[in-house]
Amino acid sequence: MRIVIYSMLVLLIAIQYPLWLGKGGWLKVYEMEKQVELQEAKNSLLALRNAKLAGDVKDLKDGTRAIEERARVEHGLIKEGEFFVQILPADKAPAAQATKQ
């Protein structure tokens, strides 16, 4: 009788192994769910970035405001009839005058 009970116990453990540790077991499913969550978070960040870039492209194609803004910020350009005034901080102004004297 003991042999039957022990053999049934061994068979039960052998059947449970693939369920817990096998190729499609609970542990693999848990790990894959975590990977899916991380990838979904990355995808949502990339979707936001893509939407922003698509807006920039649309604005550059349709309007002149974005082109003008980029020219001013990135290249320091000014319109005809405008004046460019640069104000230096107070702590740097005396140092520039001291080197000239």
In sequence order, which residues have a C-beta less than 8 Å from that of residue 96 and are 6 or more positions away? 88
Indicate yes or no: pTM above 0.75. Answer: no
Q: What are phi and psi of 83, to 5 degrees?
A: -115, 140
Inform me whether the pLDDT recorded for 101 exceeds 60. Answer: no
What percent of the chain has a predicted confidence (pLDDT) above 70? 90
pLDDT of residue 52: 94
Mean pLDDT (the chain, rounded): 83
Q: Is the pLDDT of residue 72 over 60?
A: yes
Q: How confident is the model at residue 7 (pLDDT cuts 50, 70, 90)?
A: very high
CA distance 63 to 44: 28
